[in-house]
Amino acid sequence: MKSLNILLTSVALACAAPALAAAQQDTVDVTVPTQLPRTAIPHHYSVTVTPHAERLAFDGTVRIDLDVVQPTRQLVLNAADISFASVAIRPAKGGSALAARVSVDDDAQTATLTFPRSLAKGAYRLDIRYSGKINTQANGLFALDYKNAEGKSARSLFTQFEAADARRFVPSWDEPDYKATWDLAARVPASEMAVSNMPRASTKTLAGGLKEVRFQTTPTMSSYLLFFASGDFGRVTKQVGDREVGIVMTRGNESKAHYALDAEAQILPYYDEYFGTPYPLPKLDNVAGPGQSQFFGAMENWGAIFTFEYALLNDPAITSEAGKQSIFAVEAHEMAHQWFGDLVTMAWWDDLWLNEGFASWMETKATKHFHPDWEADIDRVGSREGAMGLDSLNSTHPVVQQVRTVEQANQAFDAISYSKGESVISMLEDFAGPDVWRDGIRRYVAAHKYRNTRTGDLWSAVEAAGAKGLTTIANDFTNQPGIPLISVGQSQCVGGATQVSLTQGQFSADRMQEVAARPQSWHVPVKASAGGATVQVVTTGPATQLSVPGCGPLLINPGQYGYYRTLYTPQQVQALAARLPQLAGMDQYGLIANGMALSLTGYQPMQPGLDLLDAMPANGSAKVLQRVVGRWEDLYDQLDGNPAAQAAISRRVIRSYGPRLAQLGFSPREGEPAVDAILRPTLISLLGKYQDPTVLAEASRLFAAWRTDANAIPGSLKSTWLGVIARNADAATWDALHERARATTGTVERTSLYQLLGRARDEALARRALELALTDEPGKTISSGIMTSVAAGHPRLAIDFVLSHLAQVNQLIDISGRSRFMQRLASSSRDPALIPILEAYARANLGESDRKPIQQTVDRIRSESAQTQRIQAETSAWLQAHPQG
């Protein structure tokens, strides 16, 4: 995925029943945590659903072929928001049926089926008739409403099951290690297109304008990967060897799907080759949904990926260059899951990172392969920095973590699983070498296909392929939380080589003294260069002596594969700052990000960090600049309450980067490099935020023209320019934007316009946006995005508003995203006054074991606000000492 408290207990059964066939033992590991008693193992589901879209309900039947593995009168399976009409079981070989009494536990999301007498061990067939709900947020079977090609209201249906919502669609053993095959049939309006994991097997006309579509049997797979959609769809396809790839979208949007279709056709053979096991299904669709979620953007259902329209369709009216690149990246991510996640699946949510870290890493690798000019390596460093932000706090968690509740499984979709996972894999691939690493992956996929694994299975496979020593490093970085700190001693030039000693400690944003006294230790592969060849050493804690060829500035972590922070001496920083313009782009960015992180957390004064930031040449790599200017923006926000220093920063940024924007021009240029097309909107937004008169004048000119001609602003810059307008809007401007949002029918553009209404700097307008979000006008899945948008500029206002309308707001967010919505709203705040408010919210609304996102936010605000005074004083002094930008 691209992102009810039930207690899950570890049930260790004595042993699997000897009658169990070998294949059955293989698919269920009795040491894997489970909520369900292991009395039965399902092998095949036959599901038929009849949606009633207009009344948001559906009827279903399911026949489950299963083995009872120990004599029992009760079977417990998962079900949520399901009403049972009848339940009966009969021996597979034939015999009379036993009806069951059903009791439902809403909190545990289980149903207990009690039979009149005990079931002996053996094969059975369980038949259930039931009904369920169609949701209006992306959980279980859900509806998305939109305006169709004729501008009329339309409704289409989709499913979203990860982590634990297949149980809202079908009573099932809804845990990843209960793999089974699935037959799905659906009775839908004859005019609609129904889509599932597999191609259609048959279509039958039914009375009442309906048809029954049956799909072919899936391979053995986990329940969270089942998919169904139905609506007024179009589909475009391409043949890749003997497989068909397709994009499914609401009818009328076919022309916007070709970009994604081409990417899909390009990536599939590349992955076939990389993984060494070809994609095993006859087709791979990617289904676009008109809406959004606060929890995820896309989901890797096997053979039928689901992606919200904004992340899949390329619409010249609104899609930016960054948006286009993201379409490729999201597809590369979800397609990597077809192997890592779908073909081979983590046994339990503890190892979710195996899915997400790997797919994130593969996404970058595929992007680099097909689009080297996009410089995806810089994004890899950005991803590492994002992970370190979370991983430097006391409330972080290991990559491999204990997951015991559904809520904890939902919360596991965070920057640690995705971005630290990706960073650690990048480091390990670099350590193993790309060929050995790939051979290890091929062994792993071949050995575990159609089965479940744990993290250790991956390390064993890569070690077996030749990566000696990898497991020790991998275990250190995945089983313990936190970030190593490599402190560099004074260096000396001896006989043309740099002699230096490295000492390993631990980096922490909120427990610096504590971890300095008792640091964790890791096996850290550290690289260094000083103008000659790069050397590598694995440090473990005590000082390590290193001899680095060459006597140029000493650079630790060249290539930025290492997951650690580096604390240089002031002299070393000065030498690196002087050399910065000549370094590779990713090292420029890595050094600046590392330097600023150490300065902002108090490991060093602000000066070394600011010197590095200031050393970035304004004519440097567009991709690096796009990242680096964000550091100035963060700093600007840190200086809140200090208008003189903020003004000095905006003057400096405008003076440094205004000429670069002038050079790029305000409009896209034919044939320009993709990185320029990405830097342009970044600079327009930033300079617009700092109220650069040239940018504001152009924004006003474009806005006036756009009010009479919708094509007056190039589509790829539309949300950028309108963003500048929205931020600085007065009431009349805001009303004009609102009017346009209301009149727009395309889901992506409409969503974008509504979210812009939340950007207003003016507090009264921000409040109007919040009130608008609670009305029916924007649409069920757009409202939460408006609130998030307000929170970026007015966090306290948005949080107070949400808290006073919590029940209403909860209806506008996926169940799986609710506990993290508050974290998102608070993400731009450093106000300690928020801490008691957030803590009270957590106590009132979240189970004790489910409060991690709030704790992370509290830790972050506490650690950042503790540094504010020092940061402001030192930055002001630096700005005065460096008046020229």
Closer residue to Zn ion in complex, CB, 333/623: 333
Distance set, CA 418 to CA 308, 359, 400, 812, 814 (Å): 19, 8, 12, 25, 20
Applying CB under 5 A, the span of 172-180, 349-357, 390-398, 463-471 interacting with Zn ion comes to 349-357
Q: Which residue from 730, 769, 768, 776 is spatially nearest to 753, judged by alpha carbons? A: 769
Task: Provide the angle, in degrees to the nearest 10, between the axes of the packed helices 622-638 and 852-881.
Answer: 100
Minimum CB–partner distance for residue 386 and Zn ion (Å): 15
Q: Measured from the CB atom, is 393 or 424 closer to Zn ion?
A: 424
Are the CB atoms for 236 and 247 separated by under 8 Å?
A: yes
Task: Determine whether 334 is an active site residue.
Answer: yes
Mutual angle of helices 795-804 and 763-773, in 10-degree steps: 30
* CB-CB contact of 305 with 8 (8 Å): no
CB-nearer residue toward Zn ion: 453 or 752: 453
Interaction mask 299-338, Zn ion, x per CB under 5 A: ----------------------------------------
Label the pairing between strands 210-215 and 101-105. unpaired
Q: Return the number of the residue (1 or 458) whose C-beta is nearest Zn ion.
A: 1
Q: C-alpha angle 834/835/839, rounded to 5°?
A: 115
Cα distance from N-terminal residue to C-terminal residue, the chain: 42
Q: How far is CA 745 from the centre of its chain?
A: 28
Give the residue carrying structure tokens 């108090």: 602
Q: Least separation, in Å, of the C-beta of 417 and Zn ion?
A: 9
CB closer to Zn ion, 297 vs 382: 297
Single-letter amino acid code for the residue at 660: R
- 177 Cβ contact list (under 8 Å, min separation 6): 27, 28, 29, 32, 34, 222, 345, 347, 348, 452
The residues in 387-446 that bind Zn ion, with binding defined as CB under 5 A, are none
Q: How far is the CB of 337 from Zn ion (least distance, A)?
A: 6
> What are the structure tokens assigned to 247, written together?
């994009």
Is 855 buried (19+), middle (13-18) or exposed (0-12) by CB count in 10 A? Answer: middle
- Cα separation, 774 vs 783, in Å, equals 7
For the bound state, the minimum distance from the C-beta of residue 344 to Zn ion, rounded and expressed in Å, comes to 14
* Shortest Cβ 229–Zn ion spacing (Å): 19
Contact range with Zn ion by CB under 5 A, out of 39-47, 179-187, 348-356, 698-706:
348-356
Is position 1 an interface residue for Zn ion (rule: CB under 5 A)? yes
Minimum distance of Zn ion from residue 413's CB (angstroms): 8
Instruction: Please give the Cα distance from 776 to 784 (Å, whole number).
Output: 12
C-beta of 359 vs 846, nearer to Zn ion: 359
List C-alpha distances in Å: 423 to 99, 453, 753: 53, 21, 35
Is the separation of the CB atoms in 55 and 155 below 8 Å? no
C-beta of 330 vs 500, nearer to Zn ion? 330
Phi, psi of 114 (to 5 degrees): -110, 125
| Strand partners for 485 | 505, 565
Nearer to Zn ion, 356 or 379 (CB): 356
Number of shown-chain residues binding Zn ion (CB under 5 A):
3
Q: Toward Zn ion, which CB reaches closer, 297 or 484?
A: 297
Taking the C-alpha atoms of residue 803 and residue 598, their distance in angstroms, rounded to an integer, is 35
Residue 339 C-beta: closest distance to Zn ion, Å: 12
Kindly state the smallest distance separating residue 359's Cβ from Zn ion, in Å: 4
Tell me which of 334, 363, 422, 429 is the catalytic residue: 334
Smallest separation, CB 774 to Zn ion (Å): 31
Catalytic annotation, residues: 334
- Site residues, Zn ion (CB under 5 A): 1, 356, 359
